[in-house]
Structure 1
Amino acid sequence: MRLATLAGAVALTAGIAFTSIPAYASPTPSPSPSAPSARAQGDGMLQALQRDLRLTAEQVRVRQAHEATAATLERRLRDRLGERIGGAWYDAGKERLSVGVLNDKDAKAVRDAGATPVQVRRSEKRLAETKEVLDRAAKAADDKIYGWHVDVAANAVLVSAADQASGERFVRAAGLTAGEEVRITQGRAFKPVGDIRGGDEFFSPTDTPGTYVACSVGFSVDNGGFITAGHCGKAGAITKGHDWSDQGVFAGSTFPGGDYAWVMLYQGAKWATRPWVNDYNGNNVKVAGSQEAPIGSSICRSGRTTHWRCGVVQGKDVTAHYSDTAIVEGLTKTSACAEPGDSGGAFISDDEAQGVTSGGAGGCADGGISLFQPINPILHTYDLTLTTTKRSGSIVGWQDKCIDVPNSDGVEGQRPWLWDCNNTGAQLWNFHRDGTIRNFALCLDTAGGSTAAGAAVQLSRCSGAASQKFSLTTAGALVNTNSGKCVQVVGAGGVGSRFELGVCNGSGHQKWRKV
């Protein structure tokens, strides 16, 4: 194949992008309706919400407006009711916030504020304490116990189990009784968490029923997803992970003109973004930043078809003429080969992210070349932040133990605990540019947004609330900037100990460092 000059158009083989794959291995359940966690991200997110929630475009807009109001109202009412609150939740049927209350005075305050009061018997604080009893008995849970959590709408702690008898047996082992406050529900076993790494494969459906395209992950972003090639999927298209489990939705996609996209992960889908690229040799290459490499620099790429391939940067600002209707500008040319299915995969030079695979000419058997879409314009276009090791790491403290997400179960309301450091994803925290500390697409927070000493530290849906802002000082204190109090280990500080806010005193229980 003849190529034009680097500054001009490049004629490339079509089809380098992806491979069509039958859906015989694909699970059939649709994505969780509650998955998209942010406000609409352009037409792509609007379409996804319409599909998954079975709403019209106007209903989506109305719902989002109501949800935004509910979020603001919840923070205000939590401040007013304090520990008396029985929980808060958005009621789609009533199109407004519902708040659990314990007395008529609080019910009036909730009603006057514009929310719906719901009389309950137990405060959110009491339910959290009941759940902690189960947490402490976690070792008594066998393989028929799938998990437990506070359900504020039910005003109860729900234990998910294979059957009623197994659930009751576990509850008794914890010293509790199954009933109104602790209820047994039949559930399914949780699946292990999947890490999002550059070069890993993912799938998205084509316009032909029953078929999927296979592409590769580019790089994780702090916004709760990853970037990839635009031709891998249209805005609003769903994605499935390498194990065919539900993963996310294309929140934005550009092709032709450019060739880039980003996928927003579903909350609760058990995928976690990591500052890594898969080298297909059993290791993860760490991503430290996105400093652009000059022409002539060595560069490597990762993808699901040809795995880990390297070459040099040969030219920049390349225009690719894939077809008369598919012209892409601003690409970078390299001597690293690529083949169908590698599209979207990561290009990295040393530990600096460079871009995502767009296309190529030839293959790995005949000295082919490749093109990638530079990363920084992608981040700028979608206002994304690259997930890097500079902002990620373990938080090590008391007795050289780490802040850990129990059993990698990243769910809202989960309380991290102190655990032996083990370099797993459950201990890899991202220090976001907005002052939040994140893992599993959730933010470190205080229960109910409390600023009081003794307030429990937990994971919450990232909302921009002041209670979710933390700062790791040079003195080694992890300060909740909203309260001015420090994160400390509860009690003696053994394995499994939880965390709370305390008046900063410089004690060992309040000393932390990022590793």
Structure 2
Amino acid sequence: MNPHRAGRPSRATSRARLRTAASAVAVLALLLGWFGAAGPAAYAQEPGGTDTGSRTAVQATVVRGGDTLYSDIGTRCVVGFNARNSTAYFGMMAGHCVQGASRWYADAARTVFVGTTAGSSFPGNDYALIRYSNSLVVFAGEVSLGSTGQTRDITAAANPTVGQSVCHVGRTTGYRCGTVTAVNVTVNFPEGSVSGLFRSNICAEPGDMGGPAFSGSLALGLIIGGSGNCTTGGVTYYQPVVEWLSAYGVSIY
């Protein structure tokens, strides 16, 4: 199966550039995200808590699953879920989106530094990990439910099963729910194949890529592509998170 998918976002002058698989007939997945900001004043800092030299006051920033981060090379990618190990916190992202970027910020002006790329895998897989290092930013273990203004607490991860209920959040199409229809799916993209994916009968459209998919409080995967649309119907493909968590030795919280 060769669905269209937006490629890794370009710099500001061409962020909407699509990369298209040869036999695809539908376009899915550009960028998704919201970043939360509320509460008492906080400051942008470099790793290790040192000042940037111009300590810029901002509202206290909260980064959740479904929020957008901005890179040092001008790309923007969505955090699917937050994770942690015994010493640090991390953001889980689509691997193809992260390629070439090393430093990440919570705002488009890149004044609120949050962390650096810790690793990525694409093609074959499509996942990456951002290591957070700004102690003044809150990295919440929940996902934003789009324009509803609500959040969903995510406490663990699970492998999807056919027939399981699943919901995902896309910046374009919002909060939608359906059913897992297939597992261990392979999808071909111009850069190579990505295997071990799962599929749902939920529609998605350009702008939804990277969004979190979950069942209740269980993290299942991240949107990486699909076909169709939400007018005539479609399907969505996801990178599962359990393998990902094991590869990096981190867990959902």
**1:287 positional shift:** 0.7
**1:266 positional shift:** 3.0
Q: Give me the whole-angstrom Cα distance separating, in 2, the residues matched to 1:247 and 1:378.
A: 21
The answer on 1:14 being equivalent to 2:26 is no
Give 2:47's match in structure 1, choosing from 16, 35, 49. 35
Matches within 5 A, 1:280-429: 280=146, 281-323=148-190, 325-387=191-253
The number of residues matched between the two structures is 217
Conserved 8 A contact 2:3-2:225 = yes
**1:353 positional shift:** 0.6
Give 1:215's match in structure 2, choosing from 69, 72, 77. 77
Could you tell me the percent identity over the aligned residues? 30
Conserved 8 A contact 2:166-2:178 = yes
Q: Give me the whole-angstrom Cα distance separating, in 2, the residues matched to 1:285 and 1:214.
A: 23
Which structure has the larger Rg? 1
The answer on 1:279 being equivalent to 2:145 is yes
Which residue identity does 1:226 align to in structure 2? G
Conserved 8 A contact 1:303-1:342 = yes
| Residues 335-381 of structure 1, C-alpha deviations (whole Å, 9 max, x = no match) | 12223332222110111110111111123333121111111100011
Q: Which moved more, 1:193-202 or 1:349-358?
A: 193-202
Conserved 8 A contact 1:317-1:330 = yes
Matches within 5 A, 1:88-237: 188=55, 190-204=57-71, 212-222=74-84, 223-234=88-99, 236-237=101-102
Conserved 8 A contact 2:8-2:98 = no
Which residue identity does 2:102 align to in structure 1? A
**1:236 positional shift:** 5.0
Conserved 8 A contact 2:82-2:90 = yes
Conserved 8 A contact 1:301-1:346 = yes
**1:386 positional shift:** 1.3
Q: Give me the whole-angstrom Cα distance separating, in 2, the residues matched to 1:332 and 1:346.
A: 13
Conserved 8 A contact 1:18-1:343 = no
Over 3 Å counting, the alpha-carbon distance change for 1:187 and 1:239 in structure 2 is closer
**1:20 positional shift:** 4.3
Match in the other structure for 2:35? none
**1:14 positional shift:** 3.1
- Considering fraction of residues, name the structure with more helix: 1
Q: Give me the whole-angstrom Cα distance separating, in 1, the residues matched to 2:75 and 2:206.
A: 10
Match in the other structure for 2:32? none
**1:309 positional shift:** 2.2
Over 3 Å counting, the alpha-carbon distance change for 1:365 and 1:275 in structure 2 is same
Q: Which runs of 4+ in 1 moved over 6 A?
A: none
| Residues 61-107 of structure 1, C-alpha deviations (whole Å, 9 max, x = no match) | xxxxxxxxxxxxxxxxxxxxxxxxxxxxxxxxxxxxxxxxxxxxxxx
Q: Give me the whole-angstrom Cα distance separating, in 2, the residues matched to 1:350 and 1:314.
A: 17
Q: Give me the whole-angstrom Cα distance separating, in 1, the residues matched to 2:95 and 2:54.
A: 37
**1:243 positional shift:** 4.8
- Considering fraction of residues, name the structure with more strand: 2
Q: Give me the whole-angstrom Cα distance separating, in 2, the residues matched to 1:18 and 1:283.
A: 28
Which residue identity does 2:189 align to in structure 1? Y
Q: Give me the whole-angstrom Cα distance separating, in 1, the residues matched to 2:174 and 2:48.
A: 31
Structure 1, unaligned stretches of length 5 or more?
A: 1-9, 24-30, 38-150, 152-185, 207-211, 388-515
Q: Give me the whole-angstrom Cα distance separating, in 2, the residues matched to 1:328 and 1:303.
A: 21
Q: TM-score, normalised by structure 1?
A: 0.39
**1:199 positional shift:** 1.2
Over 3 Å counting, the alpha-carbon distance change for 1:311 and 1:386 in structure 2 is same
Q: Give me the whole-angstrom Cα distance separating, in 1, the residues matched to 2:204 and 2:8.
A: 11
Over 3 Å counting, the alpha-carbon distance change for 1:264 and 1:278 in structure 2 is same
**1:244 positional shift:** 3.8
Q: Give me the whole-angstrom Cα distance separating, in 1, the residues matched to 2:91 and 2:169.
A: 15
Structure 2, unaligned stretches of length 5 or more?
A: 14-43
Q: Give me the whole-angstrom Cα distance separating, in 2, the residues matched to 1:241 and 1:255.
A: 24
Conserved 8 A contact 1:36-1:264 = no
Conserved 8 A contact 1:236-1:251 = no
SS state of the match for residue 368, structure 1? strand
Q: Which has the higher contact order (CA 8 A, sep 6+)?
A: 2
Q: TM-score, normalised by structure 2?
A: 0.75
User: Aligned Cα RMSD in Å?
Assistant: 2.8
